[in-house]
Amino acid sequence: MTILAAPARDPGLLVVSNRLPELRDPVSPDGERTRPVGGLVAALQPVLAARGGLWLGWSGRTVPGDQFGPVRWDPNRDPPLAWIDLPETAYERYYNGFCNRSLWPLFHTLPGRVRFEDAEWESYVAVNERLAVAATELVPPDCGVWAHDFHLLLLASGLRARGHRGPLGLFLHVPFPGVDLFRVVPWAEQLLEGMLAFDLLAMQTPNDVKNFLRVAGALSPAAVGDGVVEHGGCTTLVRALPIGIVPAPFESLPDSEEGDEAAGLLQAVAGTKLVLGVDRLDYTKGIPERLEAFARLLTLLPEWRGKVSLVQISVPSRAEVAEYQEQRHRIEAAVGRINGEFGEANWTPVRYLYRSYRRDQLSRFYRAADVGLVTPLKDGMNLVAKEFVAAQDPAQPGVLVLSRFAGAAAELTDAVLTNPFHTDGMVRDLDRALRMPAAERRERHARLLTAVHRTTATSWAEAFVAALESCRRSP
């Protein structure tokens, strides 16, 4: 049931994200189902349930004009959800604009794709203000608030301006750039001020933390210490808290279903070494570079022709955005070129799948793969790398080839780390992975699996909330 009034009792924790879990990435205009590979639900459900918490965000729907609708909420969902609809102008300017054409490429160290418009910045400010207002309507001023990602860098300042006294935390899922890149933003100082209004800033890797501390020291009069920033009479703690997965569902492989698409595809590539890529279709994921490296492998090492197959799963994303349409066409053209140049009557080098799969199907792909090829140009973490590790058969595991520019590389040091900008280097790393002896594969996998279990989605969420609650200010 959808209700317009505030909750009947005070939640013990408010989570705020750009999108809500059950409405995230709906069916796109071209009819493709765009459910993401990962998600926050498994991590946040337990901490919200333990605290009687509430999750606030954008519904995924738009309304005509430029006026925000009322806050709605439903206590009967698990977890309970509250939401607002975005005006069409805000969707275009805030979401497609400043978030995805300004901050997203900038934070992923791709300045050539960045562009700024005043109207988009103003819309970003307005949406953060609207969510701050919505939060004050839903929770008391001493409630803890956990915001997620680069969409909400100004949320804390909006809440503080409205008298919120409770601890405010932000987890940044994407990488944080260095000083020279961050100052490219025309409103860099305003963004930094907004981030320093949080009591806790958590990031994926120690390098992200270092970058933020350097930015704070360079662009503000703040006093910067070891993981602490003192500014305006307030203290902001800055911590590396890498996100994890829930390993169990990937470790227990379900039986294949009759007519299951995953089983059918695996049968089609049987008899060859299977190299697997699974990504959301995004220009940060390095899919064209990965395809180029695979083609180069077949050119430089022709003994692999007919003996190795690449299966690339690309989960549709932002299909209405021109940059993503261009990326899709570039990938499909590369697949066609490689198959045309190297394919044989009984061997198709690349199998390309533009769709999403259920978790049990992904697990089957992961476990069947001889090599998991996870090569983003830049990534905050990349949970596919951890899912691949969890799904392996410990007695006969596949090899993870991982970009050294993924946040996961800081933890998964026993992967074969590679440079997606160096094609010949990727060829050598892929060839090494394909030839790796079983004993070495088992040793590496055991250490990788230990790392995956060390930080799970559940332990990450509990660690963040514990750190947030320790920031609670004295009355």
Tokens (6 digits) for 155: 């949320």
Question: Are residues 227 and 265 located together in one domain of the fold?
Answer: no
Please list the rounded mean pLDDT of every run of 10 residues in the chain (475 residues): 60 93 46 44 88 93 89 88 95 95 97 97 98 96 96 98 96 98 98 98 98 97 95 94 94 67 86 96 97 98 98 90 89 97 96 92 95 98 97 97 98 98 98 98 98 96 96 61
Query: Is 5 inside any structural domain?
Result: no
Question: Residue 79, preceding bond cis, omega within 30 degrees?
Answer: yes
Evaluate whether residue 260 is within a structural domain: yes
- Indicate whether 374 and 441 sit together in one domain: yes
- Would you please indicate which residues are annotated as catalytic (active-site) residues? 173, 379
Examine the domain organization and report whether 345 and 371 are in the same domain. Answer: yes
Same-domain pairing of 97 and 201: yes
Which residues span the domain enclosing 330? 249-453
Provide the domain count of the chain: 2
Pair (181, 118) in one structural domain: yes
Query: Any idea which residue has 């001020």 for tokens?
Result: 193
* DSSP state for residue 379 in the 8-state scheme: B
Please check whether residues 111 and 209 belong to one and the same domain.
yes
pLDDT tens sequence across 382-393: 999 999 999 999
Q: Answer whether residue 133 is part of any domain.
A: yes
Element (H, E) at 58: strand 54-63
| 335 and 207, same domain (yes or no) | no
| pLDDT tens-place string over residues 30-47 | 333 333 334 578 889 889
In a domain, residue 100? The reply is: yes
Which CATH number fits the domain that encloses residue 397?
Answer: 3.40.50.2000
- Regarding whether 273 and 297 lie in a shared domain, the answer is yes
Q: Is 4 domain-assigned?
A: no
β-pairing, 72-74 with 200-203? Answer: unpaired
Is the same domain home to 410 and 377? yes
Residue 222 to residues 158, 172, 219, 473: CA-CA distances in angstroms?
Answer: 20, 20, 9, 20
Residue 329 shares a structural domain with residue 186: no
Confirm whether 293 is domain-assigned.
yes
Residues 284, 162 share a domain: no
pLDDT digits (tens, 9 = 90+) for 126-185: 999 999 999 999 999 999 999 999 999 999 999 999 999 999 999 999 999 999 999 999
- pTM summary value: 0.93
CA-CA distance, 84 to 18, in Å (whole number)?
A: 10
Same domain as 301, residue 371: yes
